[in-house]
């Protein structure tokens, strides 16, 4: 990914975290160590939260009874849940360009970095530590593939309908 600014600056956001940090230092003057330190914080945030927020169905309060939740509770301050993404980012970086670059990740889910919780800085880990990928047919192809799979598995889809609750019967969703 390439970032361009009105002053003519261009930053290549490499998927290799070390190359990215070196490029960020070259373009913005922010130290490589500061960039890598922030990415390490984002990785820790991912390690702390992914088990209950990403890899588990998150539809009811029972998720907070899982063992992973206890670890989250013990490390709650690290979540930055009561800080905004922008607040966390701007406290780590002096460079307005890097603040803008990392703030942008709030838009991935339609949020504003000025209102979204700092916990969402986990997105930077996915981008720069793990490497994000784009599906060949675009994001819509993922939806189409899931729809085909659902139909093949006899799932009833109700597009455009509001969901007010999820009805479970044991481990099955029935409505």
**pLDDT tens digits, 91-102:** 999 999 999 999
H or E element: which one contains 69?
A: helix 67-74
Look at the block and give the residue holding tokens 């597009």: 159
Q: Is the pLDDT of residue 55 over 80?
A: no
Q: Is residue 141 classed exposed, middle or buried when 0-12, 13-18 and 19+ CB atoms within 10 A define those classes?
A: exposed
pTM of the model: 0.73
Mean pLDDT over residues 5-18, rounded?
Answer: 94
The DSSP bridge partners found for residue 4 are 10
């Amino acid at each position: 990914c390439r970032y361009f600014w009105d002053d003519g600056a261009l930053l290549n956001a490499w998927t290799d975290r070390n190359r990215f940090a070196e490029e960020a230092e070259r373009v913005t003057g922010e130290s490589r160590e500061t960039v890598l330190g922030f990415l390490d914080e984002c990785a820790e945030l991912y390690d702390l939260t992914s088990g209950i927020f990403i890899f588990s169905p998150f539809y009811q309060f029972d998720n907070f009874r899982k063992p992973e939740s206890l670890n989250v509770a013990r490390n709650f301050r690290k979540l930055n849940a009561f800080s905004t993404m922008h607040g966390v980012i701007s406290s780590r970086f002096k460079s307005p360009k890097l603040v803008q670059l990392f703030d942008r990740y709030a838009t991935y889910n339609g949020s504003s970095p000025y209102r979204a919780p700092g916990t969402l800085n986990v997105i930077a880990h996915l981008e720069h530590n793990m490497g994000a990928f784009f599906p060949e047919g675009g994001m819509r192809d993922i939806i189409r593939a899931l729809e085909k799979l659902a139909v093949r598995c006899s799932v009833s889809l109700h597009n455009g309908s509001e969901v007010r609750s999820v009805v479970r019967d044991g481990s099955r969703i029935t409505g």
